[in-house]
Amino acid sequence: MLTIPAEQTRCAVWGSPIAHSLSPVLHRAAHVALGLTTWSYDRREVDTESFAGALEQLDETWRGLSLTMPLKEVALQAAVEATDTARETGAANTLVRVEGGWLADNTDVHGITAALAAVGCDLASDAVTEVVVVGSGATARSAIAALAASGDSRDSGAVAARRVTLMVRDEARPETVAQARAAGLEVAVAALGEWPDADLVISTVPPSAGLPLDTLPTTDGGRTRVLLDVVYGEGPTPLQRGGQHRGWTLARGVDMLLHQATRQVSLMTGQPAPLAAMAEALYAVVDPVWGVRTSAGGR
């Protein structure tokens, strides 16, 4: 039987599937850089049906959990406290131990904003007016929250109202539509492949969604269009290839992963995240442009 030292502090990433997760690479690098020699970070296969029981089994040595699909909504429901961002999005990718239970947060919002900023896309810019969010689930609501958070710094009297088009296979989830409208965004819903003349596309669906790309706009006349596909792994997705062929600037899902993890590290450890050490560890196993160099896998 494995004996856990009394002073050990434990963290992990949960989800299904989870074997491909790169979160251990990031968090372990942070622990080393911060000198947290008794901290551990692992991964565990947990689905929505097993989540409640798995969470109940955690003892006081557990400090924090990172949550990926399909656990972001059930994680929020299990928390005794939640940040405004988690409540607004109806989803949590982070649980941190507090008195009486768990605090829920959603650091994906910061990850999306930072990944776009890395390629010069400022969500507060007047140039980002027409946005497409592909999908309408938990990560789509994080994208909506990122747009909403940047809205306060825009001069709404001087620019056109920002519109977001939710591109979905069937119907957009009503809670996502309601969140966008509550944030003051104009909302449209389109079928997959009905691309508007967008400045920014944020895709939150897997490559298997089969997005039609024939009508994806082409960049011309010096206009900058930016595409963030939150998926990453073994190579470029069809959407990334299509965007690159049509002149779009590509933001990277691995950058979103990195920056959302820095917020998680700060929440779990109470210390500033060592961004440089985490980035070095991540990009040692991830190709700078497209995919995973080793079998370490995705999020």
Residues designated as active site:
72
Cα 243 → chain centroid? 20
Q: Name residues whose C-beta falls within 8 Å of residue 39's C-beta, 6 or more positions apart in sequence.
A: 8, 9, 10, 11, 31, 63, 269
Strand order in the sheet with 200-203: 186-191, 163-168, 130-134, 200-203, 226-229, 249-251
Query: Which residues in 79-114 are b (16+ Cβ under 10 Å) and which e?
Result: beebbebbebbbbbbbbbbeeeebbbbbbbbbbbbb
Secondary structure in 3-state letters for 270-292: CCCCCHHHHHHHHHHHECCCCEE
Report phi then psi at 238, rounded to 5.
-55, -35
Query: Which residues in 126-138 are b (16+ Cβ under 10 Å) and which e?
Result: eebbbbbbbbbbb
Instruction: Give the single-character DSSP code of 170.
Output: S
Strand order in the sheet with 94-98: 39-45, 9-15, 62-67, 94-98, 101-105, 81-82
Question: Strand pairing of 62-67 and 94-98?
Answer: antiparallel
